[in-house]
DNA sequence: AATGGTGATGTGCGCGGAAACATAAGGTAG
DNA sequence: CTACCTTATGTTTCCGCGCACATCACCATT
């Protein structure tokens, strides 16, 4: 076994009969290199697998980068609070590599606030951007601007393929609906009514919630031999008729299961279900928010599908940082596994450092 | 917002009024420092959050470390083949940090082979060891030896707390059995017979398989309102009576579900179940081996619990490498999440880079 | 008093790459 | 022909740390 002592720029220079400066210029196409020298260097390069020492590169350059993070205000929403946790963790992790993360929080229910904070990001001229572009039209405009400026951005949670982000991080929502359906189906041995609830204060992400519903419906159409009716409800917890409508639904003797498409909605549904006292209704929802975990432990919620907002963010930052420091291109889209959380595996998820 | 320009050793030296050499000696408790100087330096250290620049440290030292990996021969077993994948990946990942990984494969069914390969590792005097110590007694002897030598070792898959590894990476097997039971229970609406199968060519890890069974049984005792009989079987696929026994089990009209405690056994059980043609028997097993995945896709297997051998190894190497290079102590035990794999979330797991 | 030992402290080099800087050759305009 | 610019190329410095080595003060031994 030969020891492939890592090739250095110095080695290439020696082999090509030029100086390290020239090799450096060739490697970074900085020009100012004669045809002759370029030939010699590329010839050597082709024969040798040169992999620059990233450690040395980072140390030398000693640049510092500013990344702007544009997410909904974490103080008013537990889901986005988890994203923010990811940011805090990433800040600590990347500080010593000269990555500085600046936070821009916008109001989850106010499109104008998104645009305003987006403007602020623009004026700050960061070296990279991580964002949850939950308002489609506004985000479209904003990121076309960033594209023109050549500032790289990574999107998470919600994709906007039209603006061609450096990378998108999230989940396959359609498939996520199918997983929900599968879990639901697994526990049922007779037909009946299934409810798909979109409980949200706002309708901005209705398109995405609908994806989950479509997957949920498709699975049942495709797989189930039993007869199920699937009804969907768009509810806002602020609505006055919310309580009435919900209890009406729970009164239906045919009701067998509830699938909630939002993380915050999951615990709302759970609280109603618990108060109503009805047993044997399956409840499947999203995400490891504290309230959800309590209902999972007490058995009101059967399954949670984990979207892992914290890790989405931390991977997003990591992609940006690697791109800025090491010029390493991240995957165009990174779809997270659709993790299934139950009463019994919950602790193992909480305990593992990854979450 | 003040910019906390990263503190360097030089800064500490300046603030404490000593030279960088002295600071260095204090930081690494190398001694040869006067009480006076030590006071001054520690005083500064307490006021300042010094975090050494790992980049510079690695670059400068430019040491190379040899890690020995002691695992069962991956060519004869798909489970250990996945572990080996993790090793291959880790080798590439850590090469540029000067980490050299040497492989030592032993025969999964031969204790002497384990001891022999262990001896070889010992003679090679590596800087660190990653091992799957599946033969308890032999491993006990071996690692006491390494402990005496002061060579750090990380264990995975199977723990031997008696030898105090630098870190153990694996899963809570008891809880894993509970998860299996929970999933089983979720799909059943009437009592009957449940079988726990330990299908293994060998009995070496019987203790660990038993942990899973204990968890499985406890869950049902604790949670189920229906009447279940749980029977356990120790089977070896090489055994002549294997086929007969298995079909006898499947003929039992009371049989409602099968829980297989081993990854290789899972597909064996699945093949018998499929051939027998009996429907509505739940099958739950372990790990994303190719054969298992096929049976999961075709619906013979309902759930797989993922032990993630590949990631266990890659995390193990990462812990060792960080310890050797950066002196960063890994957690004493790192228990992986008990991931639940189904037909519908399978692709999301295969697609995500983590697995 | 000269020598040597010891412990405390400071200095300087090297790691690999990036980039500023220095040098040398060649060409052009006045 | 000189002054000056351009382009190709080589040389040096810097990044932060670890470590080998140099230095120095102090004390003991002969």
B72-93 pLDDT, tens digit per residue, is: 999 999 999 999 999 999 998 8
Indicate whether A216 belongs to any domain: yes
Distance CA B274, CA B253 (A): 16
d(CA A128, CA A149): 11
Question: pLDDT value at position B353?
Answer: 61
Residue B316: closest CA among B127, B132, B106 = B132
pLDDT digit string, tens, across residues A50-95? 888 888 888 887 788 899 999 999 999 999 999 999 999 999 888 8
Of B175, B302, B355, the CB nearest to A348: B175
Tokens read off for B236: 């070896």
Question: For residue B346, is it within any domain?
Answer: no
Statement to judge: residues A129 and A223 lie in one domain: no
What span, in angstroms and rounded, lies between the C-alpha atoms of A352 and A202?
A: 33
For residue A187, give the DSSP letter. T
Which is nearest to B322 in space by CA: B183, B130, B73, B159?
A: B130
Regarding whether B276 and B313 lie in a shared domain, the answer is: no
Q: Do B103 and B83 contact (CB within 8 A), yes or no?
A: no
A1 domain residue, yes or no: no
In a domain, A146, yes or no: yes
**Per DSSP, what are the bridge partners of residue A235?**
A199
The helix (H) or strand (E) run that includes residue A134 is none
Burial of A49 (0-12, 13-18, 19+ CB in 10 A): exposed
Tell me how far apart the alpha carbons of residues A249 and A276 are, in angstroms, rounded to a whole number.
11
What is the SS3 string spanning chain B?
A: CCCCCCCCHHHHHHHHCCCHHHHHHHHCCCCCCCHHHHHHHHHHHHHCCCCCCHHHHHHHHCCCEEEEEEEECHHHCHHHHHHHHHHHHHHHHHHCCCEEEEEEEECCCCHHHHHHHHHHHHHHCCCEEEECCCCHHHHHHHHHHHHHHCCCEEEECCCCHHHCCCEEEECCHHHHHHHHHHHHHHCCCCCEEEEEEEECCCCCCHHHHHHHHHHHHHHHHHHCCCCEEEEEEEECCCCCCHHHHHHHHHHCCCEEEEEECCHHHHHHHHHHHHHHCCCCCEEEEECCCHHHHHHHHCCCCCEEEECCHHHHHHHHHHHHHHHHHHCCCCCCEEECCCEEECCCCHHHHHHCCCC
A271 vs A243, higher pLDDT: A271
- Which residue is closest to A189 within chain B, CA to CA? B189
Q: Please compute, for residue B122, the number of CA atoms within 13 A of its CA located in the half-sphere on the CB side.
A: 16
| Residue B266: predicted pLDDT | 96
Residue carrying structure tokens 């031969």: B110
Both B46 and B94 in one domain: the answer is no
- CB of B287 closer than 8 Å to CB of B354: no
Neighbouring C-beta atoms of residue A28, cutoff 10 Å = 8
Chain B residues with CB-CB distance to A63 below 8 A = none
Q: In this predicted structure, what is the pLDDT of residue B107? A: 95
Q: How far apart are CA A57 and CA B250, in angstroms?
A: 63
Residue A204 lies in a domain: yes
Q: Is the pLDDT of residue A2 over 50?
A: no
Residue A343 lies in a domain: no
Q: Where are the alpha helices (DSSP H) in A6-53?
A: 9-16, 20-27, 35-47
Per the structure, the count of domains in chain A is 3
Tell me which residue has tokens 């077993």. Answer: B77
pLDDT averaged over chain A? 91
Query: Kind of pairing, strands A303-306 and A282-286?
Result: parallel
Tokens coding B127: 């800087």
Spatial separation of the C-alpha atoms in residues B138 and B121, rounded to whole Å: 14
B98 pLDDT above the threshold of 90? no
**Optimal mutation site among B222, B337, B342, interface A, most CBs of chain A within 10 A:** B337
CA distances from A174 to A157, A213, A223, A339, B171 (A): 14, 7, 16, 14, 31
Distance in angstroms (rounded) separating the CA atoms of residues A218 and A228 = 12
What pLDDT is recorded for position A4? Answer: 47
Long-range contacts of A290-293 (CB under 8 A, 24+ apart): A290/A78, A291/A78, A291/A267, A292/A263, A292/A266, A292/A267, A293/A346
**Interatomic distance A36 CA / C29 C1' (Å):** 29
pLDDT digits (tens, 9 = 90+) for B257-313: 999 999 999 999 999 999 988 778 999 999 999 999 999 999 999 999 999 999 999
Q: Which residues of B touch A347 (CB under 8 A)?
A: 175
Residue B136 and residue B245 share a domain: no
pLDDT of residue A267: 96
Task: Considering only residues B238 and B310, tell me which one the structure prediction assigns the higher pLDDT.
Answer: B310
The pLDDT value recorded for residue A290 is 96
Answer yes or no: is pLDDT of A194 > 50: yes
Cβ distance B56 to A61 under 8 Å?
Answer: no
pLDDT score recorded for residue B5: 62
Q: How far is the CA of B23 from the C1' of D12 (A)?
A: 29
Task: Tell me which residue of B176, B180, B151 sits closest to B166, measured CA to CA.
Answer: B151
Residues A39 and A74 in one domain: no
Over residues A207-226, mean pLDDT: 93
Q: Tell me the pLDDT tens digit for each residue of B114-156.
A: 999 999 999 999 999 999 999 999 999 999 999 999 899 999 9
Nearest nt by C1' to B11 Cα: D16
Q: A-B interface: how many C-beta pairs under 8 angstroms?
A: 114
- Is B148 (CB) below 7 Å from strand D? no
Strand order through the sheet with A255-260: A228-235, A192-199, A255-260, A282-286, A303-306, A339-341
Q: Note whether B339 contacts A345, CB cutoff 8 Å.
A: yes
Q: Is B345's CB within 8 Å of A175's CB?
A: yes
Range of lowest pLDDT (A160-164, B19-23, B31-35, B58-62): B58-62
- Is 80 exceeded by the pLDDT of residue A96? no
CA–CA distance, B261 with B79 (Å, rounded to integer): 13
Give the H/E segment covering residue A156. strand A153-156
Q: Is the CB of B24 under 7 A from strand D?
A: yes
A46 and A64 housed in the same domain: no
State whether B274 and B188 are in the same domain: yes
Q: Which nucleotide is nearest to A33 (CA to C1')?
A: D8
Instruction: Please name every residue paired with B69 in a beta bridge, in sequence order, or none if there are none.
Output: B103, B130
Based on the domain organization, do B189 and B297 belong to the same domain? yes
B3 pLDDT tier (thresholds 50, 70, 90): very low
Question: Both B167 and B180 in a single domain?
Answer: no
| Per-residue flag: A15 CB under 7 A of strand C | no
- With respect to residue A2, please indicate whether it lies within any of the assigned structural domains: no
CA B168 to chain A, closest CA, distance in angstroms equals 13
Are B211 and B97 part of one and the same domain? no
Question: In Å, what is the CA distance from A139 to each residue of A45, A108, A222, B134, B268?
Answer: 43, 13, 36, 54, 52
Measured CA A262 to C1' C22 distance, in angstroms? 65
pLDDT tens per residue across span A131-174: 999 999 999 999 999 999 999 999 999 999 999 999 999 999 99
Which of A59 and A320 is assigned the larger pLDDT?
A: A320
Tokens 């308002």 locate to: A135
CA-to-CA distance for A108 and A73, rounded, in angstroms? 7
* Residues A66/A127, Cβ–Cβ less than 8 Å: yes
In angstroms, rounded to a whole number, what is the distance separating the alpha carbons of residues B198 and A238? 54
Going by C-alpha positions, the residue among A20, A333, A304 that lies closest to residue A158 is A333
For the stretch B175-230, pLDDT in tens is 999 999 999 999 898 999 999 999 987 665 677 889 999 999 999 999 988 999 99
- C12: residue with closest CA to C1': B21
Indicate yes or no: CB of A302 within 8 angstroms of CB of B352. no
Backbone angles phi, psi at B63, to 5 degrees: -80, 160
Q: Which residue is nearest to nucleotide D17 (CA to C1')?
A: B57
Q: Is the pLDDT of residue A1 over 50?
A: no
Q: What is the pLDDT of residue A205?
A: 62
Strand arrangement of the beta sheet that strand B153-156 belongs to: B99-106, B65-72, B128-131, B153-156, B167-170, B333-335
CA A28 to C1' C25 (Å) is 24
Q: For strand B339-341 and strand B303-306, is the pairing parallel, antiparallel, or unpaired?
A: antiparallel
Q: Which residue of A has its CA nearest to B174?
A: A344
B156 and B179 part of one domain: no
CB of A294 within 7 Å of some strand C atom: no
Encoding tokens for residue A72? Answer: 């909904």
Specify the pLDDT at position B337: 97
State the pLDDT at residue A5.
Answer: 62
B4 occurs within a structural domain: no
Gap between the Cα atoms of B256 and B252, Å rounded: 9
pLDDT tens for A222-254 read 998 899 999 999 888 777 888 888 889 999 999
Contacts of B48 (CB under 8 A, 6+ apart): B7, B11, B12, B15
Q: What six digits make up the tokens of B307?
A: 């032990």
pLDDT digits (tens, 9 = 90+) for B308-343: 999 999 999 999 988 887 777 899 999 999 999 999
Least confident of A198-202, A214-218, B14-18: A198-202
Which residues, including other chains, have CB under 8 Å from residue B134's CB and lie 6 or more apart?
B72, B108, B114, B157, B158, B204, B205
Cβ distance A12 to A44 under 8 Å?
yes
- List residues in chain A touching B: CB distance below 8 A: 6, 51, 53-56, 58-59, 95-98, 171-172, 175, 178-179, 181-183, 186-187, 189, 219, 302, 331, 334-340, 342-345, 347-349, 351-355
| pLDDT score of A213 | 97
Q: Return left, alpha or beta for A128; rule: phi > 0 is left, psi -120 to 50 is alpha, else beta.
A: beta
Rounded to the nearest integer, the mean pLDDT of chain B is 91
Tokens of A240: 């006055």
Q: Report residue B18: phi and psi, to 5°.
A: -130, -175
As ranges, strand C nucleotides with an atom below 7 A of a protein CB are 7-12, 14-21
Same domain, A265 and A236: yes
Q: Is the CB of A57 under 7 A from strand C?
A: yes
| CATH number for position B294 | 3.40.50.2300
Region B61-72 average pLDDT: 89
Chain A residues whose CB is inside 8 A of the B349 CB are 337-338
The residues of B between 53 and 92 with beta carbon within 7 Å of nucleic strand C are: 56, 59-60, 62
Q: The tokens 């003040």 sit on which residue? A: B2
Tell me the residue range of the domain where A21 lies.
9-50
């Amino acid at each position: 076994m030969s020891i492939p002592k890592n090739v250095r720029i110095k080695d290439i220079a020696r082999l090509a009969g030029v100086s390290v400066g020239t090799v450096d210029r060739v490697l970074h196409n900085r020009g100012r290199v004669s045809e002759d020298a370029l030939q010699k260097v590329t010839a050597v390069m082709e024969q040798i697998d040169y992999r620059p020492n990233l450690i040395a590169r980072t140390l030398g350059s000693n640049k510092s980068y500013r990344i702007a993070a544009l997410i909904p205000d974490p103080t008013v929403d537990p889901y986005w609070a988890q994203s923010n946790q990811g940011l805090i963790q990433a800040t600590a992790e990347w500080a010593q590599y000269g990555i500085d993360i600046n936070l821009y929080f916008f109001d989850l229910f106010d499109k104008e606030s998104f645009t305003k904070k987006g403007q602020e990001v623009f004026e700050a001229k960061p070296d990279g951007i991580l964002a949850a572009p939950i308002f489609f039209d506004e985000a479209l405009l904003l990121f076309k601007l960033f594209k023109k400026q050549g500032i790289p951005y990574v999107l998470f949670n919600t994709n906007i393929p039209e603006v061609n982000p450096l990378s998108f991080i999230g989940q396959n929502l359609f498939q996520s609906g199918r997983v929900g359906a599968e879990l639901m189906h697994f526990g049922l041995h007779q037909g009946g009514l299934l409810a798909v609830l979109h409980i949200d204060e706002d309708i901005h992400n209705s398109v995405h919630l609908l994806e989950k519903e479509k997957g949920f419906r498709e699975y049942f159409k495709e797989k189930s031999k039993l007869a199920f009716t699937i009804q969907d409800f768009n509810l806002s917890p602020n609505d006055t008729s919310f309580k009435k409508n919900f209890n009406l639904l729970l009164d239906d003797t045919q009701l067998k299961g509830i699938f909630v498409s939002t993380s915050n909605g999951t615990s709302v549904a759970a609280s109603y279900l618990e108060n109503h006292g009805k047993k044997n209704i399956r409840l499947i929802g999203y995400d490891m928010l504290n309230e959800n975990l309590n209902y999972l432990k007490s058995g009101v919620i059967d399954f949670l599908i984990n979207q892992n907002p914290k890790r989405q963010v931390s991977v997003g930052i990591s992609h940006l940082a690697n791109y800025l420091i090491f010029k390493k291109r991240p995957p165009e889209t990174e779809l997270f596994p659709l993790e299934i959380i139950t009463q019994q595996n919950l602790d193992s998820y909480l305990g593992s450092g990854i979450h």
